[in-house]
């Protein structure tokens, strides 16, 4: 067992024990303590780093590693992970969500899969390679960011907007939510993220005429907004296959013995079992009303009603999404954007893809590897703006019975100990080839 395999579990547990809950607009503990921990782990093996705060406590860490004057390579690779996690209600968990407890062969805790596991893999592998002198010829930028769970505006976005010089040499980037295994008809299939849906967090506002609740009022903003929300929530968005999903479904169709088409795409996705929850959302645009607010007394019709909608749209179908949304809202509804981040899709080819595939196959020879489209968003959206080819590759070999996608932001989040060790081995092989 390598040094990286030996320490990846302890690094993951240490990171989980640092509460970095991100409450969105409400103050939280921030990422500063975790950033200082990461910086200390890098400094211990002779890798210098800098901590960048967007505001007090909201901290990201960046380190430059590898390359050098003798390599001659200028095409940097960004390896990035985020330090923040979503909140956890301790009373709902079997264990303290910030204990990093090991139980039943798993490391338990908030961030175990999203994404302190990958941070631990990166730290473990980089530390081991630095100690043993196995430093990549390619320049590597390591970034551990703040605020990803609220859209990354105080983390990755700050690096892109205010410190682009740190990333200017990077032509490719690798981050979270890819490289994990799922099982299709008994065959292990590793999914590499090669695309993400766009994210539109919208505030809808309807305005009308105030009045007494006992009287007829045909200009009631709550009625108008409710109709819009009902149409948005019930709308059946059509199946639309991007190049990434066509490639993935072709791989599944080969296993299932069925040629993929838009008509049978949903049936093929069902072959993923519980993972279909996430992958199925990448076949079409999605709009979900999530919050409403209006009024202050039961017998008073208010002048204004508001609601929030979470919209996720496919790369290449942006115009169709917003045109349809406008029609669903109808007249008298104003749309403001809390977040409006564009989707992205990177061609699934080239040397970096080959390195990811071969490093997985070397550790799991009977497996298949294919790209997929991520239904949610990651910091890759920000780094993509600098022209990088971006992928998600946090390798984990998972047991077939584990409902892995339910653990993202879920109760009793946990990651298998042997999956962490597997990930460290794969990442080590990957860095040999980049």
Q: Are 413 and 90 in contact (CB under 8 A)?
A: no
CA distance 328 to 202: 14
CA distance 408 to 400: 17
Residue 55: strand pairing partners: 58
CA distance 95 to 235: 40
Give the residue among 291, 272, 292 at the shortest CA–CA distance from 282: 272
pLDDT confidence bin for 27, thresholds 50/70/90: confident
Over residues 358-408, the pLDDT tens digits come to: 999 999 999 999 999 999 889 999 999 999 999 999 999 999 999 999 999
Residue 152: strand pairing partners: none
CA atoms within 13 A on the CB side of 150: 21
Give the residue among 250, 254, 230 at the shortest CA–CA distance from 242: 250
* SS3 assignment, position 27: coil
List of residues 6+ apart from 225 with CB closer than 8 A: 204, 205, 206, 292, 294, 305, 306, 307, 333
Over residues 191-237, the pLDDT tens digits come to: 999 999 999 999 999 999 999 999 999 999 999 999 999 999 999 99
Residue 7: strand pairing partners: none
Give the residue among 284, 276, 287, 344 at the shortest CA–CA distance from 315: 344
- Residue ranges of domains in the chain: 3-180+343-433, 195-341
DSSP per-residue letters across 205-231: EEE---EETTS--S--HHHHHHHHHHH
Over residues 46-79, the pLDDT tens digits come to: 999 999 999 999 999 999 999 876 667 889 999 9
Q: Write down the CATH number for the domain with range 195-341.
A: 3.30.70.360
CA distance 63 to 144: 9
pTM attached to this predicted model = 0.92
Q: Are 173 and 389 in contact (CB under 8 A)?
A: yes
CA distance 193 to 220: 45
- CATH superfamily of the 3-180+343-433 domain: Zn peptidases (3.40.630.10)
């Amino acid at each position: 067992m390598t040094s990286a395999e030996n320490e990846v579990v302890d690094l993951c547990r240490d990171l989980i024990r640092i509460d970095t809950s991100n409450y969105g607009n409400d103050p939280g503990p921030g990422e500063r303590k975790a950033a200082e921990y990461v910086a200390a782990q890098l400094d211990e093996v002779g890798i210098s780093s800098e901590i960048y705060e967007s505001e007090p406590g909201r901290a990201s860490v960046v380190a430059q590693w590898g390359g050098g004057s003798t390599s001659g390579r200028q095409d940097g690779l960004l390896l990035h992970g985020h330090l923040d996690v979503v909140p956890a209600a301790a009373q709902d968990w079997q264990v303290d969500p910030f204990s990093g407890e090991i139980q039943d062969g798993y490391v338990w805790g908030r961030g175990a899969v999203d994404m302190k596991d990958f941070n631990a893999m990166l730290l473990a592998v980089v530390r081991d390679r630095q100690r043993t002198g196995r430093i990549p010829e390619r320049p590597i930028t390591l970034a551990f960011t703040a605020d990803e769970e609220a859209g990354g505006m105080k983390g990755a976005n700050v690096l892109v907007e205010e410190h682009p010089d740190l990333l200017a040499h990077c032509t490719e980037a690798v981050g979270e939510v890819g490289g994990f295994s799922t099982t299709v008809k008994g065959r292990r299939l590793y999914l590499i993220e090669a695309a993400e849906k766009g994210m539109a967090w919208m505030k809808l506002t309807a305005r009308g005429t105030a009045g007494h609740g006992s009287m007829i009022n045909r200009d009631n903003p709550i009625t108008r907004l409710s109709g819009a929300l009902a149409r948005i929530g019930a709308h059946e968005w059509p199946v639309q296959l991007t190049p990434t999903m066509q490639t993935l479904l072709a791989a599944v169709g080969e296993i299932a013995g069925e040629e993929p088409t838009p008509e049978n795409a949903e049936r093929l996705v069902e072959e993923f079992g519980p993972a279909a929850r996430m992958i199925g959302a990448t076949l079409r645009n999605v709009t979900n009303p999530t919050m409403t607010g209006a009024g202050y007394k039961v017998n008073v019709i208010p002048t204004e009603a508001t609601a929030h909608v979470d919209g996720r749209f496919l790369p290449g179908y942006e115009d169709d999404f917003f045109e349809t949304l406008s029609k669903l809202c109808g007249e008298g509804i104003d749309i403001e954007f809390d977040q409006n981040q564009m989707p992205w899709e990177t061609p699934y080819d080239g040397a970096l893809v080959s390195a990811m595939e071969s490093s997985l196959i070397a550790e799991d020879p009977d497996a298949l590897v294919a790209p997929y489209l991520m239904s949610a968003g990651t910091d890759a959206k920000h780094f993509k703006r600098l022209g990088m080819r971006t992928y998600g590759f946090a390798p984990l070999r998972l047991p077939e019975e584990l409902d892995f996608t339910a653990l993202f932001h879920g109760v009793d989040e946990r990651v298998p100990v042997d999956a962490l060790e597997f990930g460290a081995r794969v990442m080590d092989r990957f860095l040999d080839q980049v």
